[in-house]
Amino acid sequence: MAKIGTRCVHAGYTPGKGEPRQIPIIQSTTFKYETSDQMARLFNLEDSGYFYSRLQNPTNDHVAAKLADLEGGVAAMLTSSGQAANLFACLNICQAGDHIVSAANIYGGTFNLLGTTLPKLGISVTFVNPDDSDENIAKAFRPETKLLFGETISNPGVEVLDIERFARIAHSHGVPLVIDNTFATPILCRPFEFGCDIVTHSTTKYIDGQGVTVGGAVVDSGNFDWEAYPEKFACLCAPDPSYHGLVYTKTFGKGAYITKATSQLMRDLGAIQSPQNAFYLHLGLQTLHLRIVRHSESALKVAQFLRQHPDVAWIHYPGLEDDSQHAKALKYLEGGLSSGVMCLGLRGGRDFDNRFLDALRLITIETHVADCHSCVLHPASHTHRQLTDEQLREAGIAPDLIRLSVGLEDAEDIIADLEQALKTAHDA
């Protein structure tokens, strides 16, 4: 198999003679058929083919196939956002009465999805500290638990998940491990190689990388044996009355999970990515292997600068040798490369923080993270402001935490901007 950079450029789309070199944007809601029977077979899932872009579109499928290839999975689907990807990953195997165990140190939006919105649909969640003992994490599981959830590199705490350990815990309870691999991307970490079963992405971040499209993806390894638990996962192993009693695992084998997510959830919920956005996303994806390395190398330089600065009270970046996450970074992240994201606290208190943020010139204040533009955010005042102090602490977020996302500008210029802003905040 070709190496990952080559697959970043080529996987998922091989044009034939006279066909477009770049993936085409198939901006069409519907697709034409010759006979009534051809259409009927599609609706019976007997033939594969496109019929309506709410369920599937060829442009999206080229990009999804590339992501599946990069992750080492069997199938993938694009969704309209990272939030939709995590929602679909859960709803595809959970219904009212079911339960999820999740690491507590996850992205604020996912924390709200699991902790606030899914419970309204009758799906409950127990958050666990990923550093807690196996025994304590095991206590969170119930007979109705359907999955274990975590993030490869947590947002914003930049903690690296011990994927092998989480996979072992999930499998010993007969459930799949679902991992949001947004910050690591398949270039730095392929969670399936460590026993994870399903990966999700907010492609809005590094995979697009230009800050132009909101999107998400769900990728299945094809490795979880649903049929070993036919009652627990009846949604995949028992007949689906909305497709004349078809059984996903019997008909689609390793493709069961993504086929169900496409033909049932996407059909009914419709959170599809537009082909135009999938095209933009793909432009970024083709250079991901170059960009994520540069992000990581610059971030290490920036982290080394901040670490020795007298105004910096603390800094977390898994790439730093003395960081608590460094050993896991070396194990799980390619070459220990730790993405462009770090978090830090300053010594001067809240007013100092605000003077610092306001004095930045190159680095901008944004809700966003992980694209070519360097940016900062203060989660306690911005993204996580709906969480209580207790929930903030549970999610591993200190009230003074500043998240810094190192972009693709020259590291020297990023460092110079931080230096002048700290000086300005100090002098004011």
Give Cα 21 distance to the centre of its chain. 29
The kind and range of the H/E element at 312 are: strand 312-316
Q: Tell me the C-alpha distance between 7 and 36, whole Å.
A: 39
- Nearest-CB residue to ligand PLP? 82
Least Å from the CB of residue 13 to ligand PLP: 23
Min dist CB 179 to ligand PLP, Å, is: 10
Q: In whole angstroms, how close is the CB of 70 to ligand PLP at the nearest point? A: 17
- Cβ 185 to ligand PLP shortest distance, Å: 11
Q: Is 102 in the site for ligand PLP (CB under 6 A)?
A: no
Shortest approach of ligand PLP to residue 367 CB, angstroms?
Answer: 9
Segment interacting with ligand PLP (CB under 6 A) among 34-42, 76-84, 164-172, 397-405: 76-84
- Binding segment for ligand PLP (CB under 6 A), chosen from 21-29, 105-113, 249-257, 410-418, is 105-113
* Residue 273 makes contact with ligand PLP by CB under 6 A: no
Identity of the residue, 213 or 221, whose beta carbon is nearer to ligand PLP in the bound complex: 213
Residues from 193 through 252 that contact ligand PLP (CB under 6 A): 202, 204-205, 214, 216
Binds ligand PLP (CB under 6 A): choice among 56, 57, 59, 81:
81
110 belongs to the binding site for ligand PLP (CB under 6 A):
yes
> Up-side HSE of residue 294: CA atoms within 13 Å toward CB?
16
Does 105 interact with ligand PLP (rule: CB under 6 A)?
Answer: no
Q: Which of 180, 323, 353, 371 binds ligand PLP (CB under 6 A)?
A: 180
- 228: exposed, middle or buried (C-beta count within 10 Å: 0-12, 13-18, 19+)? exposed
| Stretch of 89-97, 107-115, 218-226, 347-355 contacting ligand PLP, by CB under 6 A | 107-115
Residue (of 4, 1, 2) closest to 335 by Cα position: 4
For ligand PLP, which residue of 57, 59, 60, 83 counts as binding (CB under 6 A)? 83
Q: Please identify, using beta-carbon distances, which residue of 204 and 263 lies nearer to ligand PLP.
A: 204
- Our CB check for ligand PLP shows the closer of 83 and 338 to be 83
Helical segments of 308-367, H only: 326-332, 349-359
154-173 residues near ligand PLP, rule: CB under 6 A: 155
DSSP for 198-228 reads EEEEETTTTTT-SS----EEEEE-S---GGG
Q: Is 405 in the site for ligand PLP (CB under 6 A)?
A: no
The residue count of the chain comes to 428
Hey, what are 299's tokens?
């971030």
Closest CA to 137 of 167, 182, 115: 167
Token code pair at residue 296? 């990581």
Whole-number Å distance between alpha carbons of 421 and 427: 10
Q: Does 151 bind ligand PLP (CB under 6 A)?
A: yes
Q: Which stretch binds ligand PLP (CB under 6 A): 75-83, 126-134, 300-308, 381-389?
A: 75-83
CA angle at 151 for the pair 146 and 153, rounded to the nearest 5°: 165
Binding flag, residue 325, ligand PLP (CB under 6 A): no
Question: Is position 107 an interface residue for ligand PLP (rule: CB under 6 A)?
Answer: yes
Size of the site for ligand PLP (CB under 6 A): 15
353 binds ligand PLP (CB under 6 A): no
In three-state secondary structure terms, 395 is coil
Asked whether position 150 contacts ligand PLP by CB under 6 A, the answer is no
Burial of 379 (0-12, 13-18, 19+ CB in 10 A): buried
Instruction: Count Cβ atoms within 10 A of the Cβ of residue 160 and give its class: 0-12 exposed, 13-18 middle, 19 or more buried.
Output: buried
Q: Does 338 participate in binding ligand PLP (rule CB under 6 A)?
A: no
Q: How far is CA 355 from CA 21, 369, 384, 402, in A?
A: 50, 21, 20, 13
Residue 84: DSSP 8-state: H
User: Which residue from 60, 92, 145, 182 is in contact with ligand PLP, where contact means CB under 6 A?
Assistant: 182
Residue number, 182 or 298, with CB nearest to ligand PLP: 182
Per the listing, tokens 């730095």 go with 188
Per CB under 6 A, residues contacting ligand PLP are: 81-83, 107, 109-110, 151, 155, 180, 182, 202, 204-205, 214, 216
